[in-house]
Amino acid sequence: MKWTDSQRIAEELYDKYPDIDPKTIRFTDLMQWVMALDGFDDDVSRCGEKVLEGIQLAWIEEAE
């Protein structure tokens, strides 16, 4: 997975953290959780606020 795979990342986060409200997560935590996912293989330098916002929005949609 890469940073641009926001939907797949959101699905993985939803499965791994079912009790977490994605609206309340800090971007620093979100970045660490994404990098810790099985199959994630991308450079941290490719991550930015817009990328994290996209992942967070996809996770919110997945949770609803």
pTM: 0.93
With bands split at pLDDT 50, 70 and 90, how would you rate the model's confidence at 59? very high
Query: What pLDDT digit, counting tens, does each position of 4-48 carry?
Result: 999 999 999 999 999 999 999 999 999 999 999 999 999 999 999
Does residue 22 belong to any structural domain of this protein? Answer: yes
How far apart are the C-alpha atoms of 19 and 36, rounded to whole Å?
18
How far apart are the C-alpha atoms of 2 and 28, rounded to whole Å?
17
pLDDT of residue 46: 95
Segment 46-60 mean pLDDT: 97
CATH number, position 19: 1.10.10.600
Number of domains comprising the chain: 1
pLDDT of residue 5: 97
Segments forming the whole domain that contains residue 54: 6-63
The neighbour count for residue 30, using CB atoms within 10 Å, is: 21
Does residue 1 belong to any structural domain of this protein? Answer: no
Segment 41-58 mean pLDDT: 96
